[in-house]
A and B are shown apart, each in its own frame.
Chain A
């Protein structure tokens, strides 16, 4: 039997060779790990969050370990979209692995402008919108916490580009489903779930928060149950593909996320401990499919979701007394 088909279609022509991606912010621009990681074997690379203008990011400390996870508050440090394209796109164009540029902004116009500058750039396979940013036009409220704002920025970006478009959901909301639906209705090709959970840690003296920015985003195994719940909820209310992220450290986590409806999985924080993990997960998923005797990993998707209510049955008519 030939190896199982691991390819995944995220829409608009973005076909990944396998469903294991590396998450934005944990893998730089794909070059930092050098020979330690075989980037050509990854399913996709989501690069560091990219903005219109260069950003120096937040004051330090920016990271700290927490039980089963870590908090980070990098503050979107990046050299700006033009520098990112000039410096890295040429390298990306030579890779088999699709590079998805993670895009952030403080206004709808910011997002649109960044995306327009990525349109048609060789080496850029898609866009992932980070909408967990304060929306200056709406008093600093995050796009991600409001269905209207999330839909608006998605629609504006959709009009501005033909690139495959993923939108990354924030878990820091009451009910994520209306937001997910609004983003899907606005023309996103796929959803990424989830971004980090907002949290704080204290300095050892307990006289102040530890991180320079006070707040940080929690990631790592600690957040996996939250991510699993959100993917479970979202994949039942949208028809577009869902890419899961949150605490993946082993194959069992990948299988869990597939079972609740994700078609692909991003590995993030775990890369810091084990940079070779994502490539190993590709091998382990291949082996798992072989062990189960299935031709495509797609058969593992959605097995834990409740059955969708189908058309009303006519059988009852026959047996009506």
Chain B
């Protein structure tokens, strides 16, 4: 679906974790017209001081009920404005925006990796994959038990594995340390979280082919021309796809505010070429 301005209505708002909110909006156009990995750009009602919209990953989308959810942490006046919304309040959203995750049709086993709020970036892919009969393992990292995304908010079919920095629940350490146990099982991996986490995952993914001796997806007829950065094919063939974050202005590709550096030496717009990139499309060491 092409992007449009959609008037949505808040139907539920809950603080699911300290400072983290899950809000449901009635938005049939978005719930049925979006794909996992895409986002919306929501307008705050306080126009006196807040001149920018706020981007939110589409956390879940249910075409049956017409409801989408967003999941965010209160980090400033914009997100605080959203927490004050009550059922029945309307919010104008621009969406769906950006390019989605692309699952190779042959992939049966999907590894999802989320760090903290990065859960919002991969959450809907769990639903989408299970609906398509795929197996999903979700590795989740947080600072401690009090920040762990409730398993009750995930589909039963998802295998949910937790790592915490302080070891208060699950593996003690970084979520990236769990990945080697699953890299043989997984056909593809999809991640969202802090940039250092994604960079570490990209390094793991880069060495995977040598360690496992697996063929690169989609390259059975030999190595052809490299895929264009930002193309659907580049993402679909990648073992690791990452959902990136950047300060955003327009969210449609006009202002060039939200770029990251691509391995082709050209800045890539998170809002337009992304937010989902193949890990090898991102110049992790560029410092951008």
List, in ascending order, chain A residues with CB within 8 A of B28's CB: none
Question: Contact between B259 and A62 (Cβ–Cβ < 8 Å)?
Answer: yes
Which secondary structure dominates where chain B touches chain A? loop
Q: Which of B17-25, B106-114, B207-215, B245-253 contacts A (4 or more CB under 8 A)?
A: B245-253
In the complex, the number of residue pairs spanning A and B with C-beta atoms less than 8 Å apart equals 105
Whether A63 touches B253, Cβ cut-off 8 Å, given contacts A273-B53, A275-B94, is no
Give the number of residues in A that approach B within 8 Å (Cβ atoms). Answer: 38
A25 within 8 A of B: yes
Most buried by A among B47, B251, B261: B47
CB-contact partner of B252 in A25, A33, A61, under 8 A = A33
Is B43 close to A, CB under 8 A? yes
Q: Is A65 an interface residue (CB 8 A)?
A: yes
Q: Is the CB of A32 within 8 A of B51?
A: no
Chain B 222-260 against A: per-residue CB contact (8 Å), 1 yes, 0 no? 000000000000000000000000111111111111111
Given contacts A57-B256, A273-B53, A276-B5, contact A63 B267 (CB under 8 A): no
Nearest residue, chain A, Cβ from B262: A56
Distance of A35 Cα from B251 Cα, bound (Å)? 15
Asked if A62 and B256 sit within 8 Å, CB to CB, the answer is yes
Contact yes or no, B51 A74, CB < 8 A: no
Partner of B52, one of A36, A249, A272, A276: A272
A220 contact set on B, CB distance < 8 A: 51
Residue of chain B at shortest CB distance from A66: B51
Using Cβ atoms and an 8 Å threshold, which residues of chain A touch B287? 59
Chain B residues, Cβ within 8 Å of A64? 247
- Residues of A contacting B43 with CB < 8 Å? 273-274
Alpha-carbon gap, A70 to B258, bound state (A): 14
Contacts of B86 in A (CB 8 A): none
Give the contacting residue for A60; candidates B247, B253, B255; CB below 8 A.
B247
- Inter-chain contacts of A28 with B (CB < 8 A): 250, 252-255
- Encode B1-27 as 1/0 by CB contact (under 8 A) with A: 011110000000000000000000000
B250-282 at interface with A (beta carbon < 8 Å)? 250-261, 265-267, 272
Q: Is A72 an interface residue (CB 8 A)?
A: yes
Q: Is the CB of A27 within 8 A of B254?
A: yes
The answer for the CA separation of A220 and B51 in the assembled complex, in Å, is 7
With A34-B3, A74-B255, A270-B51: A26-B267 Cβ-Cβ less than 8 Å: no
Q: Report the Cα distance A26→B94, complex, angstroms.
A: 16
Provided the pairs A62-B257, A68-B51, A220-B51 are in contact, do residues A56 and B249 lie with their beta carbons within 8 angstroms? no
20 contacts between A and B (CB under 8 A): A25-B255, A26-B255, A32-B253, A34-B252, A48-B254, A48-B256, A56-B265, A56-B266, A57-B267, A59-B287, A61-B246, A63-B249, A74-B255, A74-B256, A212-B288, A269-B51, A270-B51, A272-B52, A272-B249, A275-B252
4 more CB-based (< 8 A) A-B contacts, given A26-B254, A69-B51: A28-B252, A60-B260, A62-B256, A212-B288
Which residues on B are within 8 Å of A, measured CB to CB?
A: 2-5, 43, 47-53, 78, 94, 246-261, 265-267, 272, 287-288
Q: Which residues of A approach B to under 8 Å, CB–CB?
A: 25-28, 32-36, 48, 56-57, 59-65, 67-70, 72, 74, 77, 212, 220-221, 249, 269-276
Top 7 nearest A-B pairs (CB, nearest first) are: A28-B254, A63-B257, A32-B254, A220-B51, A61-B247, A32-B253, A63-B249
